[in-house]
Amino acid sequence: MFHVKHFDVLVIGGGHAGAEAAHAAARMGARTALVTMTLSGIGVMSCNPAIGGLGKGHLVREIDAMDGVMGKVADKAGIQFRLLNRRKGPAVQGPRAQADRAIYQREMLAATQAQDNLTIVEGEVVDLKMSGQKVTGVELADGTLLHSTTVVLTTGTFLRGIIHIGEEKHSGGRMGDKASVKLAERIDSFGLPLGRLKTGTPPRLDTRTINWSVLEEQQGDDEPAFFSFETTKLAAKQVACGITHTNERTHEIISKNLARSAMYGGHIDGTGPRYCPSIEDKVVRFADKTSHQVFLEPESLTGHTVYPNGISTSLPVDVQEDYIHSIVGLETAKILQPGYAIEYDYIDPRALDASLQLRATTHLFLAGQINGTTGYEEAAAQGLVAGINAACLAQGREPVQFSRANSYIGVMIDDLTTRGVTEPYRMFTSRAEFRLSLRADNADQRLTPTAMDLGMVSVQRRALFDSKRDALEVGYQALSREAYTPKHISRAGIAVKEDGTRRTPYQLLAFPDVQFKDVVRVQPDLSAIDRPIQIQLARDALYANYIDRQQKDIDRIKKDEAHVIPTGFTYAGISGLSNELSAKLESARPDNLAQAARVEGMTPAALALLLAKLRQHQ
C-alpha cells in the first residue's frame, strides 16, 4: 500500500522524547506527524513509575515553563508527591512524583490525540529517505512513504536492543517490544559515531504476596509540589510506599551467583549508569555495606504490580527469586516480570549541534536515550529542544538555543554536544554552575517569555504568566519601598545589628533565618501579598546577593554565546593555535565561542586568537 503525505516535522517514536518533540513542533504551528509502533506505545514508562527528582524535577518544570506536556500529565498521574531535599535550600530541591503507569499512558495519549496540528501514524519506520545529505522523509514497514521537511529520531533503547536475563539473551527494544533492527542498519549507512550502553530494571512483584504489615511506610507530602505551574489540585488518589532492606543473606546469594549475571558474566559490553547501579553493582562496589534500602512502589491504583526501587538486576530468574525471598516482607513475594538488562546503540551526541540537528546529515534531529542519556525527563527535555528546532527549520526561523545560563536544559544540551558521554548521562543539580538562579520554582520566569515569543503557549498559560509576573513586580516594589531602622526591625522581633544601617524588607529576606511572616511584622501591609508570591519573593531575595555576584559570569557566557562560529569554519590556519588544539576544535565543532571555551585544553590566549579570527569573518 502506498500513500504519500507531507509534513513539516515528522517524529519517529512516541516515548518521552518523541511525545514532547511532537507536541512542541505542533504548538509552534508546524504540521507534525508522530510515528509510533502502536498507539499504546505512547508515554510508556519503561522502567520506574516515577517522574522528577533531583535535577530531573528541574527539567520537568522547565519543560512545563515552555508549555510542554510531561509536567501536566505527571500531575494527573501522580499517586505520591514528594519534594526531595525539602530541608535544604530551594536551589537544590527537586519535585518528584510516583506515577500511575496506566494513567500516565492514558493521559499522554489523550493529550497527543487532542493536540492541534498533530497526526499520529501507527507503523514501524524502516528507512529514511534522503536527497543528498538531507533527510526528506521516511518509509514504513508496510511501504507507506511519509515526506517531511524535517525528521526527529527518538527511538530510545530500540536500536539493536538486546535484552539479557542471566545467560539468556534475545533481541528486543524493551521487555515485550521488538528491537528496531532495519532502522539501525539504515543509520549505519550514515557512518555516524556509534557506541553501546546498557541499563537495567528490577523484577516486578505482586502486591498481594508482599507482607506489608511488617514494612515501614512512606507517605507523600501533605502539601504536594506539582510539576506544572498550571496545576492547582491533586487528580489521583494518593498512596503510601513501603520500605525494606537487603541484608547479608541477600548479598551472599548475589555474590555467589555473580558469574551468572549478564552484567558480570561478561555477556554485555556496554557501559551502565554509574548513578543508577544494579544490585550486583552495589554488592560489588560497596562490599563493606551489609544492607541497601528498597522502596516498594505501587505501579498503579488498580493493578497488582509493585516496583522494588533499588534492586535492578540481570541475574537469572531463579537467583532473582532467591534474593527477593531473602528480604524482609518479600519472603513469599511472587515475581510478575523478571528484572533484566538491555544493551543498545547510541549515537555520540557530539555529532549534533546545539539544536540537536546532526551536523553531517541535515534536517535530521536526534533526541532522548539515543543520544546517550538515561531517564524520562532528560529524554523529554531533549525532545522539546529538537521539536522546537525542527519546527524552526521547517518554518524558516532561526534556531532556538538554550543556554547554561538560563536552564538545566541548556546545561544538558551543552554537556552532550560539546563533551559527549562515557556512561548514560543523567541530570544532577551539581552539573549547573548557576544553580542558585536556575531553580525549579522560577523556571517559568526564566523560560516562559521565550516560549511566548515563539508563539507556543496557550492563552491560559500566557494569562497565568502575565498575572504572576505582575504580582511579583508589585510584591517586589512593596518589599523595597521603605527602609527601616534597626530599632524598628528589632521591635518587630528580628535580631539585627544595631549598626545604623536601614534595611528594606527585601534585604531582610536575604538573611536565611528571616521568613516572610517576620517581615510582615515590620511592614503589615505585606500580608496582602498572595502566599505563593510571598514564597517566590522570599526565595528570590534569599539568593539575590549571590546571583548579583554570578551575573558577571552569566553576562560573559551570554556574550561568548553571541559569537557564533560558522559551519565549516577551519581552525587549521589560525596562527598561534597549537596543532593539538586546532584538531580538538575541529572534532568538537563548537557552535559558538562559549562552547569553544569549554573544549578540553582551551586557554584564554587561544580563545582570544579564535575571537580575532571570527571577527575577520564578520
We find the least distance from the C-beta atom of residue 366 to ligand FAD, in angstroms, to be 10
Pairing of strands 134-140, 145-153: antiparallel
**Phi, psi of 504, rounded to the nearest 5 degrees:** -80, 160
We find the least distance from the C-beta atom of residue 16 to ligand FAD, in angstroms, to be 4
- How many residues belong to the site for ligand FAD (CB under 6 A)? 37
**CA dist., res. 102 & res. 58, Å (int):** 24
We find the least distance from the C-beta atom of residue 383 to ligand FAD, in angstroms, to be 7
Whether residue 377 is annotated as binding a ligand: the answer is no
403 sits near ligand FAD (criterion: CB under 6 A): no
We find the least distance from the C-beta atom of residue 544 to ligand FAD, in angstroms, to be 34
Residue in 25, 30, 35, 494 binding ligand FAD, rule: CB under 6 A: 35
Closest C-alpha to 145, from 256, 340, 3, 10: 3
3-state helix, strand, coil in the chain (%, to 5): 40, 20, 40
10 sits near ligand FAD (criterion: CB under 6 A): no
**CA dist., res. 484 & res. 494, Å (int):** 12
Lay out the site mask for ligand FAD across 163-182 (x = CB under 6 A, - = otherwise): ----------xx--x--x--
Whether residue 493 is annotated as binding a ligand: the answer is no
3-class SS of residue 495: coil
Span near ligand FAD by CB under 6 A; candidates 46-54, 164-172, 474-482, 517-525: 46-54
Residue in 25, 26, 379, 614 binding ligand FAD, rule: CB under 6 A: 379
146 sits near ligand FAD (criterion: CB under 6 A): no
Whether residue 98 is annotated as binding a ligand: the answer is no
Bridge partners of 298?
306
Query: 313: how many CB neighbours lie within 10 A of its CB?
Result: 28
We find the least distance from the C-beta atom of residue 199 to ligand FAD, in angstroms, to be 4
Residues 411-440 that bind ligand FAD (CB under 6 A): none
Residues 180-239 that bind ligand FAD (CB under 6 A): 180, 183, 199-201
**Phi, psi of 617, rounded to the nearest 5 degrees:** -75, -25
Residues 472-531 that bind ligand FAD (CB under 6 A): none
Cell numbers at residue 107, please?
A: 493521559
Q: Check: CB of residue 599 under 8 Å from CB of residue 590.
A: yes
**CA dist., res. 606 & res. 612, Å (int):** 10
* Residue reference for cell 528594606: 504
We find the least distance from the C-beta atom of residue 179 to ligand FAD, in angstroms, to be 8
Residue in 78, 172, 203, 368 binding ligand FAD, rule: CB under 6 A: 368
Residues 99-138 that bind ligand FAD (CB under 6 A): 124-125
Q: How far is CA 152 from the centre of its chain?
A: 17
47 sits near ligand FAD (criterion: CB under 6 A): yes
Whether residue 617 is annotated as binding a ligand: the answer is no
We find the least distance from the C-beta atom of residue 309 to ligand FAD, in angstroms, to be 9
We find the least distance from the C-beta atom of residue 365 to ligand FAD, in angstroms, to be 13
Span near ligand FAD by CB under 6 A; candidates 189-197, 372-380, 512-520, 585-593: 372-380
Element (H, E) at 521: helix 516-522
**CA dist., res. 425 & res. 114, Å (int):** 32
**CA dist., res. 174 & res. 46, Å (int):** 7
32 sits near ligand FAD (criterion: CB under 6 A): no
**CA dist., res. 502 & res. 166, Å (int):** 69
Determine the residue type at 164: H
Nearer CB in complex with ligand FAD: 177/561: 177
Nearer CB in complex with ligand FAD: 30/370: 370
**CA dist., res. 142 & res. 126, Å (int):** 9
* Residue reference for cell 533565618: 513
Nearer CB in complex with ligand FAD: 103/159: 159
Strand order in the sheet with 168-171: 168-171, 162-165, 340-347, 194-201
CA dihedral (176, 9, 17, 114) positive or negative: negative
Nearer CB in complex with ligand FAD: 121/254: 121
We find the least distance from the C-beta atom of residue 561 to ligand FAD, in angstroms, to be 27
**CA dist., res. 363 & res. 358, Å (int):** 8
Cell numbers at residue 218, please?
A: 512512606
**CA dist., res. 413 & res. 517, Å (int):** 40
Burial of 292 (0-12, 13-18, 19+ CB in 10 A): middle
Residues 322-361 that bind ligand FAD (CB under 6 A): 342
Span near ligand FAD by CB under 6 A; candidates 16-24, 142-150, 290-298, 576-584: 16-24
* Residue reference for cell 491504583: 301
3-class SS of residue 78: strand
Residue in 8, 9, 10, 13 binding ligand FAD, rule: CB under 6 A: 13
Q: Check: CB of residue 76 under 8 Å from CB of residue 107.
A: yes
Nearer CB in complex with ligand FAD: 370/599: 370
For residue 253, is it left (φ>0), alpha (ψ between -120 and 50) or beta?
Answer: alpha
We find the least distance from the C-beta atom of residue 57 to ligand FAD, in angstroms, to be 13
Span near ligand FAD by CB under 6 A; candidates 32-40, 90-98, 239-247, 390-398: 32-40
534 sits near ligand FAD (criterion: CB under 6 A): no
Whether residue 180 is annotated as binding a ligand: the answer is yes
3-class SS of residue 614: helix
Pairing of strands 293-298, 305-309: antiparallel
Residue in 7, 9, 14, 25 binding ligand FAD, rule: CB under 6 A: 14
Determine the residue type at 450: T
Whether residue 273 is annotated as binding a ligand: the answer is yes
Residue in 105, 149, 314, 369 binding ligand FAD, rule: CB under 6 A: 369
25 sits near ligand FAD (criterion: CB under 6 A): no
Whether residue 317 is annotated as binding a ligand: the answer is no
We find the least distance from the C-beta atom of residue 20 to ligand FAD, in angstroms, to be 8
**CA dist., res. 379 & res. 370, Å (int):** 9
320 sits near ligand FAD (criterion: CB under 6 A): no
Closest C-alpha to 241, from 312, 155, 329, 164: 329
Nearer CB in complex with ligand FAD: 33/526: 33
Bridge partners of 558?
none
Whether residue 216 is annotated as binding a ligand: the answer is no
We find the least distance from the C-beta atom of residue 91 to ligand FAD, in angstroms, to be 22
276 sits near ligand FAD (criterion: CB under 6 A): yes
Please give the annotated binding residues, written as ranges: 13-18, 125, 180, 272-286, 369
| Residues making contact with ligand FAD (CB under 6 A) | 12-18, 35-37, 41, 46-48, 124-125, 154-158, 173-174, 177, 180, 183, 199-201, 276, 342, 368-369, 374-376, 379
List the binding residues for FAD: 13-18, 125, 180, 369
Residues at the binding site for NAD(+) are 272-286
